[in-house]
Chain A
Amino acid sequence: MDINHRNGTVPRRLVGRIKGMVFRSHLMHSMIFAVALLGALVFIIPFAWTVTTSLKPDAQVMIFPPKWIPSPIQWRNYYDALVRLPFDRFFLNTAIVTLTSLVGDVIVNAVVAYGFARMDFPGREPLFYVLLATMMLPSQVTMIPVFIIFRKLGWIDTFYPLIVPSYFGNAFYIFLLRQFFRTIPDDLEHAARIDGANQARILWSVILPLSGPAIATVAVFSFMFHWQDFFRPLIYINSTHLRTISLGLQLFKTGYGGTVYNQMMAATVVCTLPSLILFFATQRYFISGIVMTGMKN
């Protein structure tokens, strides 16, 4: 019997495998589990270390051998770190940039992807190959002129350079959405067209409701990208009141000794939390989204 694993139905597979191999593979699986667990610990330890450092009183930060549990726990570090620099402002700025970009990324790329997926126009295939090619373009080759263009527009030290490009398409998301759209069966669209719907209406009423996972994936990727974008705020944002959290965090890393590690780690923890929360809330889309890009190449 051909067990289909495309959607990773775990229980059936687990049972099947164990039934087939129980007599010689218990040991192997235990070893694999042990190794995987050990590796996972290595991956988690930096997080733990960051959190414990963030709670350390100043005197305990630089001692060797390092202490794992700070005593007393200095919660004040969080207050100091986030008040020293106006992190509330940084969070707000990052939220504004991220959310507005996200809206653009989702809407515009869905429309464009639908154009590539379902609409026939002359030059569609060549243009799609151009799209694929731009996916591999290093951004540095356009970075300087784009900066100069934004400068001419007077947009330096505003959010516009960070947000506006999201309203002009992103090759990766277009590719992802287009691949997904093509898996939707034609008949739904034909039915709608017979009912008199035009393309836009089909996109809105038929395709989009079925594209939940893909749209969510784009949304999550877009959020993650813009939330922690560093390079573009670095060249476009100068004023403190417009900084994003990436720039804010970077301020902690001064060039001189006297880096306040505990506060720095506290700020890092707080800045990481939104991404972590989003990740746990939308785990499915992460994995499935990456599946979509990895498989259909």
Chain B
Amino acid sequence: MMARNPGLISRRSLLKMLGVGGAAVLVAACQPKEVEGSVEEEVATKSGQAPVPAAEEVKTIRYLGGFGQSWEDFYNTEVLPKFYDLHPNYKVEMTLIGSWPDLYNKIVTSTAGGMPPEVTRQKDFFTPDFIVRGLQQELDEYVAAKAPHIAEDQYVPHAWSNMHWSGKLVALPLLIFNHYPHFNIELYKKAGLVDSDGAPVAPDTWEDVREQANKLKDPSNNVYGTFLRDEGGKEDTVNFFHVWLAQAGGRLIDEEFSRFMFNTPEGLDALTFWVDLIKDGAMKPPGVSIEGIIPQGHVGMWWHASSYWVAYRRDNPDFEWSTAINPMRKTRGAIVRGDHHALFRQSKERDAGFDFLAFHQTPEITLAYGKNQMMIMPRYDVMSDAFYKEPYMGVPGAVYSVEFEQLEQPGNQPQPIFPGYQESSYKIGAQLILACMQEISPEQALDQAEKEANDVLASARRLLGVD
């Protein structure tokens, strides 16, 4: 018998491949348990304990939804060791995610796949889409049984009401925030927009915003007066638009969540204001990417909450900024929003998941989270902590009191939560971006956005029998 190509793939190598494949299958079958054991040991050792022998079955709590190393470090050093002290047979597995739309997508695919994580961090407006499909666990009974520290009088009213749907508690408040103006002190000095103490003069009205943005812009140095908080054309773009809509005296949606209400003179006012700023070159147009736009000094005025401060100081140790409450159009309103913690009904270790959430809501951990993530937490006992009374790391004008002051503005509106928010915000956001790129007029954008968003809303309400 002739072998034409001896040795190229002999039966021996075929057997070898089979062997490798078989070994791989064995390894695959064994892997997860191995890893669980080692990570648990590692964490236990970190917190100074000897590894606990798995006398009880190890319950794994999968936590979906974090960004970046610092977030994971925070949990590994400040939260999990204490949690494992209380529950030695628990293990928390953190899943990082790249962006909020990715997170939403991951929640959908994992619940669609019947294998949801135990716990997620999510934006408040994610919740209805999942709760009306019965995916999130209602928490009233759990709280009554195990978590007395989670009670209505402990929380800011907006936060507490947003945790509820149809009268039931469906999520736990993780943090709250609102967007308010920040100013680059150096650029303000350069533009001569400072007072006698050298502090930036906050714009009092939208006209001031326009004037200042135009004075701050410096095209030759790639400096803009301000920029769109989010250009993705998805939910964050709409969230930012909502802030300006509130100041213009408008509403996003009606109280019954039956139709959108942004296609009004107020909405047009807000969108046109943006578009005019872009036309003047005072607001950075969408698509132009500028790395380090804020800490590297490419923008004079911008909007968001305190959570970004730590990143600025890290990226530019000399960076200095100050803050103020929103300028006045018809109101100085902002949208009070927050993130939630949600528990998934079909998850494997649901009870353990709730224990983790309840632990997270204790004043001690809530304060630790707030300090580490530079966020205001919605619990009264935490908000009154001395931490929030201090200015931030010597930065003149970076003080939490401004965010608290903004929280009390009469023009504020709570983040509306209703099924279909995510999808309709994609439609609205796309039109807003098109208007900002001057592909269509603001009127056209709002008309088209309203039509498409109402369609989404109608189909959400119909399918889920919300009506």
Contact = CB atoms under 8 A, between A and B. Distances in A.
Q: Do chains A and B touch in the complex (CB under 8 A)?
A: yes
Interface of A: 62, 84-85, 89, 92, 95-96, 99-100, 102-104, 106-107, 147, 150-151, 154, 156-157, 159, 188, 191, 204-206, 208-213, 215-216, 219, 234-236, 238-241, 250-258
Given A85-B96, A212-B9, A238 B18 contact: no
Contact of A210 (B3, B290, B293): B3
Interface in B1-30: 1-6, 8-11, 14, 17-18, 20-22, 24-25, 27-28
Contact of A103 (B21, B28, B109, B290): B21
Which bracket fits the contact residues of B? Answer: 35 or more
B98 A236 contact: no
Contact of B5 (A85, A95, A99, A213): A213
B9 A209 contact: yes
A156 B114 contact: yes
B93 A84 contact: no
A209 B102 contact: no
A257 B289 contact: yes
Nearest to B27: A96
Contacts of B466: none
B interface SS class: mixed
A40 B171 CA distance: 57
A103 B114 contact: no
B113 A147 contact: yes
A70 to B, nearest CB: 17
A253 B1 CA distance: 56
Interface string B226-250: 0000001000000000000000000
Given A150-B113, A251-B96, 20 more contacts: A99-B21, A104-B21, A154-B115, A156-B110, A157-B115, A191-B1, A208-B11, A209-B9, A210-B4, A215-B14, A236-B113, A238-B117, A240-B96, A252-B98, A254-B98, A255-B102, A255-B232, A257-B289, A257-B290, A258-B292
A216 B1 contact: no
Contact of B8 (A156, A212, A258): A212
A134 to B, nearest CB: 25
Q: Which 5 A-B pairs have the closest CB atoms?
A: A156-B113, A103-B21, A212-B8, A255-B99, A212-B9
Given A100-B28, A204-B11, A209-B11, A256 B115 contact: no
A194 to B, nearest CB: 12
11 contacts: A103-B21, A204-B11, A206-B1, A211-B9, A238-B115, A239-B62, A241-B35, A250-B98, A251-B98, A254-B98, A255-B232
Contacts of B220: none
B281 interface: no
Of listed A100, A250, A253, residue having the most chain B CB within 10 A: A100
Contacts of B79: none
Contacts of B18: 103, 107
B99 A154 contact: no
Interface string B26-60: 01100110010000000000000000000000000
A106 B15 CA distance: 12
Contact of A255 (B14, B93, B101, B311): B101
Contacts of B14: 106, 208, 215
A253 B98 contact: yes
Nearest to B95: A240
A102 B11 contact: no
B434 interface: no
Contacts of A236: 113
Of listed B2, B14, B101, residue having the most chain A CB within 10 A: B14
B69 interface: yes
